[in-house]
Amino acid sequence: MKKVFSGIRPTGDIHIGNYLGAINQWVQLQEENDCIFSIVDWHAITTPYNESTLQDTILEVASIYLACGVDPKKCILFTQSDVKQHTELTWLLGSITPLGELQRMTQFKDKSKKHKEYINAGLINYPILMASDILLYDAELVPVGKDQTQHVELTRNIAQKFNNKYGETFILPESLISKEGATIYSLQEPDKKMSKTGDPKGCIGIFDSPEDIKKKVMSAQTDSENEIRFDLTKKKGISNLLNIYSLFSKKSIKDIEKEFEGKGYGDFKKSLTELLIDKLKIIQENRMEKEDIKKILEKGKKLAEARAEQKMKVVRKRMGLAL
């Protein structure tokens, strides 16, 4: 049994990339591990967001976690900003994190290019907040998409630095990447990852209607070969669709290639559309009432807070601060 922590930013619609790259793995992990999952709203405010809908988005994201099978009886589910110890630890760890390390983070570079008018100190400090999320709970494993491994590496460096300076305090975490699901690409721009902020036609949301799913899959970018074959260098579009098909159907890519031998992209896309509509319908039917979700988060807050405060007492002591 290992301690596991992961988080997702409440920024609009959750898509099948999040599901296949992250949530799906959490659902499996909670069976045999001590898991804590968080809706990381303090991370969300480092890029432009809508303050009047943030609370609704948090509940929406929680409802997706729960509908996808995250089970509050088997793990702790809470909202990051409900546990103030995360910001306290961020400040403390900030005092030992070299600025240069933060400046070389790929996500910081990407996001500051994308939001030129919004390059704020929060964006550069983002990885310290993430490190705090992880280190507060002594997490050993951090299930994330490939894009987040750099941040987990930095978390290890910060933990190591703290331990060297103030004595053994933090566990050095490892990231856990689910192999096949590692990256799901946009259906429209298959060399970019599927994202809430990319082309909306390339991104399938967990709560998309059957009509939307159909439109998006049928218009997905492919190539002119009309052969259903996995080849990430020459056939990115169709390979991405094959990957999605394989993950949702639990069939191997080889078996799917065989099944569609001699058939065209149209047939394959129709089949994928039906599969996605079926699978997402099951998730959509599991949607809970808002009031019930609030109760689950309230309970999660109490459990997470107790653990976080226990850890902070040690950290404050080591750093010579008042308990």
Say whether 111 is catalytic. yes
Which element (helix H / strand E) includes 175?
A: strand 174-176
C-beta of 87 vs 107, nearer to ligand AMP: 107
- Catalytic residue (choose from 193, 235, 269, 301): 193
* DSSP conformational letter for 97: S
Q: Which two tokens stand for residue 216?
A: 């998006």
173 lies in the site for ligand AMP, by CB under 6 A: no
By the 10 Å C-beta count (0-12 exposed, 13-18 middle, 19+ buried), 266 is classed as exposed
Task: Write down the residue that tokens 């050993």 correspond to.
Answer: 140
267 Cβ partners below 8 Å, 6+ apart? Answer: 260
Phi then psi for residue 235, to 5 deg, are -130, 60
Cα 50 to Cα 316: distance, rounded to the nearest angstrom = 35
**Member of 9, 86, 151, 156 binding ligand AMP (CB under 6 A):** 9
Binding mask 151-170 for ligand TRP (x = CB under 6 A): x-------------------
Q: Which residues pair with 38 in a beta bridge?
A: 7, 78
| 35, 68, 144, 184: which one binds ligand TRP (CB under 6 A) | 144
**Annotation marks residue 254 as catalytic:** no
Q: Which stretch binds ligand TRP (CB under 6 A): 129-137, 270-278, 279-287, 290-298?
A: 129-137
Place of tokens 């099948």: 16
Pick between residue 67 and residue 105 the one whose CB is nearest to ligand TRP: 105
Residue 18 lies near ligand AMP (rule: CB under 6 A): yes
Query: Does 142 sit near ligand TRP (CB under 6 A)?
Result: yes
Q: Which does 17 bind (CB under 5 to 8 A by kind): ligand AMP, ligand TRP, none?
A: ligand AMP
Token pair in block for residue 21: 């790259």
Q: Does 7 participate in binding ligand TRP (rule CB under 6 A)?
A: yes
Complete DSSP assignment for 257-270 = HHHTTT--HHHHHH
Q: Looking at beta carbons only, is 59 or 315 nearer to ligand AMP?
A: 59
5 is a contact residue toward ligand TRP (CB under 6 A): yes
Encoded tokens for 95: 């005092």
Residue list 31-70, contact with ligand TRP (CB under 6 A)? 40, 43
Q: Rank residues 151 and 235 by Cβ distance to ligand AMP and give the closer one.
A: 151
DSSP state of 39: E
Query: 126 by DSSP, 3-state: which?
Result: helix
- State the residue for tokens 């809970």: 288
Interacting residues with ligand TRP (CB under 6 A): 5-7, 9, 40, 43, 130, 133-134, 142, 144, 148, 151
Interacting residues with ligand AMP (CB under 6 A): 8-9, 17-18, 21-22, 144-145, 147-148, 183-184, 193-195
